[in-house]
Amino acid sequence: AWARQNSFIQCENTRLLLFCFLATFPVLVGHTTAPVSDTLSVDLILFGLVFLDRSMRNIILIFRIFLGFCSAFAFGYAVLVRPASVIGLTVALLIFGLVSLRGSHYSRLTFSVVAIGFVIVLTPSIINCSKKFGSYCLQSPQTFNVILSSHVGLSGARVLWTQPTEFPGSLPILSDEKMINDFYRRCHIKSIIGFNETSFTGCLLQNPLALPSFLAKKWIGLFDYFRFTPYLERVTPSWLRQLSRIYSAFVWIGFSICIAATLQLTNRATWTTVKNNLIRNPGILLLTVYSVILLAQHTVLLTEERYG
């Protein structure tokens, strides 16, 4: 309904079709029953978007401020539930702020309220974590090792929790021989950004001919819903796996259309139209930036389909 109201979806039948598609998507049904943080975090982000949209539309000052704080709480709590969202949401809010400078003073007010509320929600956890571990953080630094995850992500595009790992100290990745030969064995990752083979970006740049294959495999793995949930990997029936992959195929088609549409932005007229639409609908801009950053994060790191 939010997308329809913002003219992101033009047709009522399209809205109903997409709703039915999402409501019957086996993996989405599965993840609402699984004790993982991804579903709750996404729900909170969607609530934050709706509150943000209502705040932008409301002409009564007190309600605009109240709805802005509701949006900030939803975004902030989404980060506390799943700290991997912190970069995506922070950058998305900053870009939303830059766009609001070109809008009305009401837009700037909404951004200010959301930004301040977002910081207020996160500050107690940051202070607590920093005191305990001696550096700025939202969770224990031992919880997640970005270097290990990015290096492991060079060996394959799917995590299979029920299989033993081939590499000591690694996560159970379904090994891809080409990815292992092209990237994993050759590169020893010590940083993400750089130009030599000790960095993730440098590792990929050293073998540019294999880069399209690498991206395709990681992105297909991100949207290949071959199990009901990760906890039911061994007992997902074959008919359900096949049904999920039919849905996944439509998701992949939609994802490909998004990439094709993005490439069209090189056309000046198209870019001008899109830019004007995004200025009028900052929630769509925020959602787009957040999604692109999350896609980039999970292209770098190991891939699980629940991230998709």
Give mean pLDDT in consecutive 10-residue pieces for the chain, a chain of 308 residues: 79 89 91 81 92 87 93 96 92 90 80 94 94 88 85 88 73 87 88 87 89 91 89 91 93 90 80 76 86 91 84
Distance CA 261, CA 258 (A): 5
Closest CA to 58 of 155, 50, 241: 50
List Cα–Cα distances, 283 to 1, 28, 302, in angstroms. 13, 23, 29
- pLDDT for residue 167: 67
The Cα–Cα gap between 96 and 283 comes to 8
Q: What is the pLDDT of residue 169?
A: 61
- What are phi and psi for residue 199, nearest 5 degrees? -120, 155
Instruction: Identify the pLDDT of residue 242.
Output: 94
Q: pLDDT at position 163, please? A: 80
Residue type (1 letter), 194:
G
Q: 3-class SS at 267?
A: coil
Q: Which two tokens stand for residue 80?
A: 């506390």
How many other β-carbons are positioned within 10 Å of the β-carbon of residue 257?
A: 10
- 159: β partners: 173
Distance in angstroms (rounded) separating the CA atoms of residues 225 and 215:
18
